Amino acid sequence: MNRTERLLDLITYLLNAKEPVSWRKIKNHFPEDYDDGVEESNQRKFERDKAELISLGIPIDYQSGPEGTKEGYLIRKERLFLPELCFTPREFSLLMLGAEAVRRSEIFPYREPLESAMNKIISQQSQVGPLPGEIGITYGDAPSGAGRAALINRIQDALERRKRLQIEYHSFSKDETTVRTVDPYGLIFRRGRWTLVGWDHLREDLRSFVVDRIRSLEVNQRRPGTPDFEIRSDFSLQQFKNQQPWEWKRHAPLPVVLELSPHRINELLPQLGNVRDLGGGRYELTVTNQDGLISWALWQRTDVRVVSPPALRERIADTVRYLA
């Protein structure tokens, strides 16, 4: 049999086993695959198959214990299968409304998988009970995003195959487009915008790239079935998910002091993250992307004022004069 059939049969065999399965029993069950030729080669073949299944999320364990207990390989069903979800009527309603809002957006590239998931949940609707009638939602016309969705799909494909990208990226701060070679590590969808996170070979560091600013993208076509890179062991997408625009690495760390209007302190502080309270409504934070902070501060109108450094205050004033 081919490898895919063998892996599927191995999963089925271990799932149906009522007790741990020894290596000898596995060989007897798959004589053409694991009991043909040199024993050492057969074991390596099995270990490769086992490693492949584990990488796909199949929890194959080896159980060993004291004398008298069964030893061998097994798949613990409680680790393989997710528990059955149980929603209250209100939870079910809000979940479906949120999913429908995303599904109607043309810029969302995963509409088919989302629709499949929604259909599976809807099939359980009869078990939920009547839905509350006081919840409603309206939709505006979403701008056409077919081109962006296609771009996201290409990036997602490169992510899954770990293939290197070459992009033309436009920087608003410098008003220039540069060619960048990027190892894609992850995608983030936040506040209606997609951001690619990856290793930038030009900067030799992790960088974030707003997908809307990618002018062109090419996926490495060489050896399509072989990964081009390994994701760094210390990488965490969660860190970038919560990252604010002024925390993107564009220049050396710069201490900035802000003054916030009293009536909005409770609202704005969570957005600022790690800051030092200087008292009197003033807070100090570290900025590595002045453009990101300028954009955010301007959106807050007069409720955020840059106290220092003076050069940043002047940049904001120049921006306001330009926009006026």
Contact present, 214 and 168 (Cβ < 8 Å): yes
Point out which residues pair with 216 in neighbouring strands. Answer: 168
Choose from 111-125, 131-145, 295-309 the range with maximum mean pLDDT: 295-309
pLDDT in tens, 53-81: 988 889 899 988 666 667 899 998 888 88
Which residues touch 208 (CB under 8 Å, ≥6 apart)?
A: 188, 195, 196, 197, 240, 243, 248
Smallest CA-to-CA distance from 12 within 98, 69, 77 is with 77
Question: What whole-number distance in Å separates Cα of residue 289 and Cα of residue 296?
Answer: 11
Average pLDDT over residues 13-33: 91
Helix (H, G, I), strand (E, B) or coil at 264: helix
Greatest CA span in the chain, whole angstroms? 83
Banded model confidence at residue 280, pLDDT cuts 50, 70, 90: very high
pLDDT at 106: 64
Q: What is the mean pLDDT of the chain?
A: 84
What class, spelled out in words, does domain 3-80 have in CATH?
A: mainly alpha
pTM (global) more than 0.75: no
Contact present, 211 and 160 (Cβ < 8 Å): no
* Residue, of 131 and 197, whose pLDDT is higher: 197
Q: Is the pLDDT of residue 109 over 80?
A: no
Banded model confidence at residue 167, pLDDT cuts 50, 70, 90: very high
Domain ranges for the chain: 3-80, 84-144, 158-236, 254-323
Question: What whole-number distance in Å separates Cα of residue 91 and Cα of residue 88?
Answer: 5
Least confident of 4-18, 114-128, 187-201, 306-320: 114-128
Helix (H, G, I), strand (E, B) or coil at 98: helix
Question: What whole-number distance in Å separates Cα of residue 299 and Cα of residue 40?
Answer: 66
- In percent, how much of the chain has pLDDT > 70? 88
Contact present, 106 and 145 (Cβ < 8 Å): yes
Count how many Cα atoms sit within 13 Å of the Cα of residue 27 in the half-sphere of its side chain.
15
Angle value at C-alpha 50, between 46 and 52, nearest 5 degrees: 120
Q: How is residue 103 written in tokens?
A: 């599904």
Helix (H, G, I), strand (E, B) or coil at 66: coil
Choose from 101-110, 148-157, 174-183 the range with maximum mean pLDDT: 174-183
- In percent, how much of the chain has pLDDT > 90? 40
Least confident of 23-27, 95-99, 157-161, 202-206: 95-99
Contact present, 110 and 148 (Cβ < 8 Å): no
pLDDT in tens, 35-57: 888 899 999 999 999 988 988 88
Contact present, 273 and 244 (Cβ < 8 Å): yes
DSSP strand E in the chain: where?
A: 60-63, 72-75, 165-171, 176-190, 193-200, 205-210, 214-219, 254-260, 276-279, 282-287, 304-308
Angle value at C-alpha 233, between 227 and 234, nearest 5 degrees: 135
pLDDT at 142: 45
* Residue, of 317 and 113, whose pLDDT is higher: 317
pLDDT in tens, 219-249: 999 988 889 999 988 888 887 877 788 888 8
Question: What whole-number distance in Å separates Cα of residue 46 and Cα of residue 6?
Answer: 10
Options 2.40.33, 2.30.30, 3.90.480, 3.30.70; CATH of 254-323: 3.30.70
Q: Is the pLDDT of residue 157 over 50?
A: yes
pLDDT at 143: 46
Regarding beta strands 193-200 and 176-190, do their DSSP bridges make them parallel or antiparallel, or are they unpaired?
A: antiparallel
**Could you please report the per-residue DSSP string of 12-53?**
HHHHH-SS-B-HHHHHHHSHHHHSSS-HHHHHHHHHHHHHHH
